[in-house]
Amino acid sequence: MKFKDNRSMKIVFVSHCLINCNNKFPGYADVPGAYNDFIIPILQAGIGIFQMPCPEVLGWGGIGRKRIEFDLDRNNLDQDWIKDYPKMCAKWAQWTADQYQDYVDNGYEVLGIIHTGDSPTCGLDYVDSFPQIHIDLLDSGINWDHLVLDELIPLLETPEEMRARGASGKGAFMSVLRDELIARGLEPVFLPYVPTKPMQDQVDMYMKALKISNS
């Protein structure tokens, strides 16, 4: 090592919206900013946080997801922005894997990847895939002029519940990142955050995996 300073050499990768809930799909932000229950202990432990890119904002028309609102048409799914979304996610997964690899190559310990586990983009397995998830959402009676957290959250499922009813999609971004990291011989630890699971159980799981004392 050519330098000596105070950095911890420890990093955790985190889905963008878990640090910045303002990026969440309209109506689904259940905290004002970050999930402080686990973000603050990570910061206090001196672990660096790498905020991963948010493909949905990049590919679905920004914070307001205007392409989902105005352009998604079940009778016209042959649109470039729909077909290009998996490719865009794969490009950002490659970029993220490069950042992960860079830390590892420079002697850092990447302790884990905290990701949004029920998302069609940042989930891993047994999620509902884009664009069908949004067609199903509209079929359920969701109205773009009335996206209200208290009405949307009860409709969410855990990946286990999605699996039980036959969902078989893979997160367009996170599953590619997993494949890429494993192909490079790295051993990523994936730590899902699921809004419908008890927060304390998930915090305990993260603290244990990241070796942070929460006593």
Longest C-alpha distance within the chain, in Å? 60
Least separation in angstroms between residue 94's CB and ligand SF4 is 16
Which of 11, 12, 24, 113 is close enough to bind ligand SF4 by CB under 6 A?
24
Rule CB under 6 A: say whether 162 interacts with ligand SF4: no
What gap in Å lies between CA 103 and CA 3, rounded to an integer? 15
Tokens of 102: 């860079």
| Interaction of residue 134 with ligand SF4, rule CB under 6 A | no
Number of shown-chain residues binding ligand SF4 (CB under 6 A)? 12
- CB of 75 vs ligand SF4, minimal distance in Å: 26
CB of 70 to ligand SF4, least distance (A): 19
One DSSP character per residue, 43-85 reads: HHTT-EEEE---HHHHHTTTTTTHIIIII--TT----HHHHTH
Residue number with CB closer to ligand SF4 (11 or 35): 35
Residue 202 binds ligand SF4 (CB under 6 A): no
Structural contact between residues 150 and 28, judged by C-beta atoms closer than 8 angstroms: no
Among 16, 65, 170, 178, binds ligand SF4 (CB under 6 A): 16
Q: Which residues have C-beta within 8 Å of that of residue 118, sequence separation ≥ 6?
A: 127, 156, 157, 158, 159, 162, 192, 194, 195, 196
Which of residues 11, 19, 55, 167 is near ligand SF4 by CB under 6 A? Answer: 55
What's the rounded Cα separation, in Å, for the pair 168 and 185? 26
Asked if 180 is part of the footprint of ligand SF4 (rule: CB under 6 A), the reply reads: no
CA atoms within a 13 Å half-sphere pointing along the CA-CB vector of 171: 26
Residues numbered 56-115 forming contacts with ligand SF4, rule: CB under 6 A = 56
Would you tell me which residues interact with ligand SF4 (CB under 6 A)? 15-17, 23-24, 54-56, 116, 119, 121-122
